[in-house]
Amino acid sequence: MENNSQQRMGTAPVFFTAISTILGAVLFLRFGWATGTLGFWGVMIIILIAHMVTIPTALSISEIATNKRVEGGGEYFIISRSFGLNIGATIGIALYFSQAISVAFYVIAFTEAFSPLFDWLSQAKGIDLPRQVISIPAMGLLSLLILKKGSGMGVKALYVVVAILAVSLLLFFVGKTDYVATAELNIFSRSMRNGNLFFVVFAIVFPAFTGMTAGVGLSGDLKKPGISIPLGTTLATLTGMILYFFITYKLAISASPEDLVSDQLIMRKIALGGSIVIPLGLAASTISSALGSIMVAPRTLQALGKDDSLPIKNVNKVMSAGKGATNEPFNASLFTVGVAFAFVAIGDVDAVAEIISMFFMITYGALNLISFLNHFAANPSYRPSFKSRWWISLIGFLLSVYMMFKMNSLYALLAVVLMIILYLIVSHQHKDRQGLVSLFRGVVYQINRKLHLYLQGEAKVGENETWRPAAVCVSPDSLKRDNALNLMSWISYKYGFGTYIHLYQGYYSKKTRQEADNIKHILLERSNARNGQIYVDTLISPSYTSAIAQVIQLPAVTGKENNMVVFDFDKNVKENLHQITDNFSLVAAANCDVCVLGCTHLNNPKKKKRSIHIWIQKSDPENANLMILLGYVISSHPYWHKCKISIFDVCDPGASNEEREYLKQLLKSGRLPITSRNITIIEKDMDRNIRSLMGAYSKSADLTIIGFRSNQIKHEGEHVFWGYDSVGEILFVNSRSAKVIE
C-alpha cells in the first residue's frame, strides 16, 4: 500500500497533460490559416465562443470532482456515476474511441514537423516518400514507451516535451519579421473578414481547445483528485486561452493574410530560429498530445471494463485487468495501440477528426448538463468543495449543442444517431440498470416540490376555475378485485388526479409495514399494466373510519385538497356496504364529491365497442353535470377508445321535448362528444321505477352512472345501492356542488 501511494501523481500531471493537448497540432498547423482567413477579430471571437464551452466544462468537472472520490476513467467515471451506467457507457465508449483515434491524429500531425525533410528529398533527390515512413515508427516508439514503462514514464516524457513546447513558443513571441515594420499595430483598426466562413474555420480549429479535460483521465492515478483536477484543469484552460489571444495577435502583426493562408507552417518564418524550433515545437506539441491521449484512453477503457459496460461480455474482464502495484491498464493500452496503429496506417483522419470533435462536444455538453441538473436538484449529498454556478453550466450545455450543429449538421446528426444506437445496445444488455433515473429523480423531486408549493400558495379556488377531479379511493379489498383501481386509472389518465390507497387493517408495526409495502408493489405493477397514472400507496389503520378521517385531511398529489372520494363494493357481497353509508357524513364534512362503485365480475376486456350509460333524473339536477363530465373524463382512457356515451333522462310526463332541447344545448355548449341521437328521454311511469328502467335499457352497458342524494343515505341507508342486479358495473355519484359545463 505504501508503494502504491508513492506512485500517486499530484496536480502537475493534470496541468501538463491538459495544456500540452490544448497547445497541440492545430496551433502550429492551422491557426495561421485561421487568422489569415477571418482576421484578428474573427479568431478572437472563435476563441471567446470556444471558451464559453470549455471554461464552463472545466468548472463543471472541477465541481463534480470535488463532490465525491473520482476513480479511474476520468470523464467516463463522472458521467456514469451521475447519469447512470447505461448513459455513462454510451458516452464513455464514444469518448474512448475519440481519445484512441486522437492518438493517431496527433501522430499523423507529428509527421508534418518533418515537412522540410520530405520537401528536400522530393526536390533534390526526386524521392516522394509517404508520411507513414515517419508516423508508423513514431507510433511504434510511443507504444513501446507506454506498454513498457506505463503512465509514470509517460508523465516524465511529458515534462520534457512540454519544456520544448514552452521554448518554441517563447522564441516565436520574440521573433520578428519585415512585415512588422509596415503593419498597422492598432488591433482596433483590424476588421473581421470572410464571415461566411466563420463556422467552417471554427470546426477546423476547435480541436485546439478540446484538451482541457485530458488530465481528468488520470483521476485513478492521482493522490488527491479532488484538488488536482479542479486546479490543474482550470489553470490549463485559462492559460491556454490567454496564450491563444497572444498567439493570434502575434500572427496578425507578423505576416500578411495571404502568407498566413498559404503557408501552414508560417510560424517558422516568424520565430527566432524558426526553421528549427517550430518543427521541433510542432513535434513536441503533437507527441505530447499523443502522450496525453494514449495515457487517458486506456484508463477510460479499463473503467468501462470494470463496470461491465462493454457490449461484448468477455472483453470486459480482459480490459479491466490491471498490471503492477498501480493497476496499470496494460491490456487496454495494447488495444488502444492497435486502434491507433490502424488509423495511422490509413494516414488520413481529417473526416474522422471532425466526428471526434462532435463526440468531445457531446461529452462537454453532458458534463455541463450534469452540473446544471445537480444544482437544480438541490440534493443534500451534492456538496462540492469547489462550486460553479448553475447558469454557467447551462450556458456551456446549450452552446455545446448549438455549436455541434453549426460546425457540421450532418456529422452532428450522425454522432447523435450513433450514440442512440449504442445506448440501445447497452440498455438491452443491461436491462437492470436505471439509466437516467439516478440523476433525474432529484430534478423531478424539485419540480414536484415547487409545483406543490405553487398550487397551494398561488392557485386560489375561484368561481371561474375549471373543475377537474382530484379523486382518492380507500379500499380494503384491493387484492380481491381491481374494479376501483381501474376506475381511478380511468379518471386520472388525462384530465384528473388520482390517489389509490389500500387499507391494511391493523396496528402499525414492523411486520404490518413490510406486508403493506409488499401489497403496494403488487398494486403498482397492476396500475402500470393498465396505463394507470395514479399515485398508489398503503395505509395501516385499525378501522375503516379512522382511515377515511386521515385520508380526507391530506392533500392530493396536486398539492391541493382532494375534491372526490371513491368507495367500492361487490354487488354480490353487500355485507360491507354499511362501511360506506356510515362514513358518508364524514366525507360530506370535507365537502367532497362522492362516487360509489358497484363492482361486478362480468367485464369483458376483449370487447371492442364499449358503452357508458348516464342516467339523469329531473328530481336530481345537482348531479347531472358531474355525471356527464365524469363520463367524458373516463372515456379518454385507451380502455374506452371510441366508446359510445348515451344519456337517459327520466323526466315528468309531457316535458320530454323541453328536456331534450335543454340537453342538446348543454352538450353543444359544453363541446362534449355526445350526439342528440344518443339521448333518450323517458317520461316517468308510475308502474316502473328507475331500477326497472335501467334494467331494460342498460343491461348491456359496460358502465352505468347514476346520481344519488345525501338525504337518501339518511333515510334509506345502504338500500340506496340495492336493486341494480340486472345492470353491470354501476357508478353512483353525489355532487357536493353544482358543476358548470363550459
- Per-residue pLDDT tens for 139-164? 888 777 777 765 555 566 667 878 88
- The answer to whether 496 touches 507, Cβ cutoff 8 Å, is no
| 530-557: average pLDDT | 85
Residues in the chain, overall count: 742
Buried b / exposed e along 150-176 (16+ C-beta atoms within 10 A): bbbebbebbeebbebbeebbebbeebe
**CATH 3.40.718.10 is the classification of domain 2-350:** no
Determine the Cα–Cα distance for residues 601 and 182; give it in Å rounded to an integer: 97
- 635, 673 Cβ separation under 8 angstroms: yes
Summarize pLDDT for 58-101 with one digit per residue, the tens. Answer: 888 778 777 766 666 677 887 787 777 887 888 888 888 888 88
Q: Using alpha carbons only, what angle is made at residue 424 by residues 296 and 56, rounded to the nearest 5 degrees?
A: 45
Residues 501-519 have a mean pLDDT of 92
Q: Which residue has the cell 358502465?
A: 703
Query: pLDDT-derived band of residue 174, with 50, 70 and 90 as boundaries?
Result: very high
For the chain, give the mean pLDDT. Answer: 81
Mean pLDDT of all residues in 505-518: 92
Residue 349 has pLDDT above 70, yes or no: no
**Cβ-based neighbours of 9, under 8 Å, separated by 6 or more:** 155, 218, 221, 222, 223, 228
Question: What is the CATH topology of the domain spanning 470-734?
Answer: Rossmann fold (3.40.50)
Give residue 420's pLDDT.
Answer: 84
What is the predicted pLDDT for the residue at 5? 38
Highest mean predicted confidence (pLDDT) among 59-73, 121-135, 325-339, 387-401: 387-401
At residue 218 the predicted structure's pLDDT band, cuts being 50, 70 and 90, is: low
- When mean pLDDT is compared over 12-16, 38-42, 387-391, 421-425, the highest value belongs to 38-42
Give pLDDT, residue 560: 72
Residue 695 neighbours by CB under 8 Å, 6+ apart: 724, 726, 727
Q: Does the pLDDT at position 596 exceed 90?
A: yes
The predicted model gives 256-262 an average pLDDT of 88
What value does the mean pLDDT take over residues 178-184? 72
- In this chain, the answer to whether the domains covering 2-350 and 470-734 adopt an identical fold is no
Between 326 and 188, the more confident residue is 326
d(CA 724, CA 273): 104
Domain spans of the chain, in order of start? 2-350, 470-734
Element (H, E) at 359: helix 350-377
SS3 call for 205: helix
- pLDDT at position 149 is 65
pLDDT tens track for 705-739 = 999 998 889 888 888 998 898 898 999 999 988 77
Element (H, E) at 732: strand 730-734
For residues 554-563, average pLDDT: 75
Q: Is the confidence at residue 226, as pLDDT, over 80? A: no
**Whole-number Å distance between alpha carbons of 630 and 469:** 9
Residue 19 has pLDDT above 90, yes or no: no
Residue identified by cell 468543495 is 385
Separation CA 281–CA 275 (nearest Å)? 10
Query: Are the C-beta atoms of residues 659 and 618 closer than 8 Å to each other?
Result: yes
Percent of all residues in the chain with a pLDDT value above 70, rounded to a whole number:
85
| Residue of 732, 379, 418 whose CA lies nearest to 569 | 732
Burial class (CB in 10 A: 0-12, 13-18, 19+), 41: middle
Phi, psi (deg, nearest 5) at residue 606: -90, -5
Asked whether the predicted pLDDT for residue 461 surpasses 50, the reply is: no
**Do residues 400 and 358 touch, judged by C-beta distance below 8 A?**
no
pLDDT digits (tens, 9 = 90+) for 373-384: 888 776 666 777
Amino acid 110: pLDDT: 80
Q: Is residue 345 predicted with pLDDT exceeding 80? A: no
Residue 614: which H helix or E strand, with range? strand 611-617
Beta bridge partners of 472: 499, 565
pLDDT band at 216 (very low <50, low <70, confident <90, very high): low
> Which residues, including other chains, have CB under 8 Å from residue 450's CB and lie 6 or more apart?
none
pLDDT > 90? residue 229:
no
Sheet holding 593-599, edge to edge: 535-541, 497-505, 470-475, 564-570, 593-599, 730-734, 703-707, 611-617, 644-651, 679-683
Q: pLDDT at position 316, please?
A: 87
Residue 567 burial (C-beta neighbours within 10 Å; 0-12, 13-18, 19+): buried
Lowest mean pLDDT among 145-159, 331-345, 495-509: 145-159
Angle, vertex CA 332, rays to CA 328 and CA 337, nearest 5: 110
Q: Which residues contact 134 (CB under 8 A, 6 or more apart)?
A: 110, 111, 114
Inform me whether the pLDDT recorded for 4 exceeds 50.
Answer: no
Per-residue model confidence (pLDDT) at position 46:
92
- DSSP codes of every residue in 635-672: TTSGGGTTPEEEEEEEE-TT-HHHHHHHHHHHHHHTT-
Give the mean pLDDT of 404-423. 83
Is the Cβ–Cβ distance between 729 and 702 less than 8 Å? Answer: yes
Q: Which of 421, 335, 423 is nearest to 100 (CA)?
A: 335
Q: Tell me which DSSP letter residue 122 carries.
A: I
pLDDT at 472 over 90: yes
First to last CA, the chain: 76
- Report the pLDDT averaged over residues 297-322: 86
The tens digit of pLDDT for each residue in 645-680 reads 898 888 877 777 777 777 777 666 655 567 777 888
Q: Residue 378: which region, alpha, beta or left (left: phi > 0; alpha: psi -120 to 50)?
A: left
Residue 117, all three cell numbers: 525533410
**Residue 505 contacts residue 476 (beta carbons within 8 Å):** yes
The pLDDT, as a whole number, for residue 703 is: 94
Model confidence at 245, pLDDT cuts 50, 70, 90, reads very high
Burial class (CB in 10 A: 0-12, 13-18, 19+), 315: middle
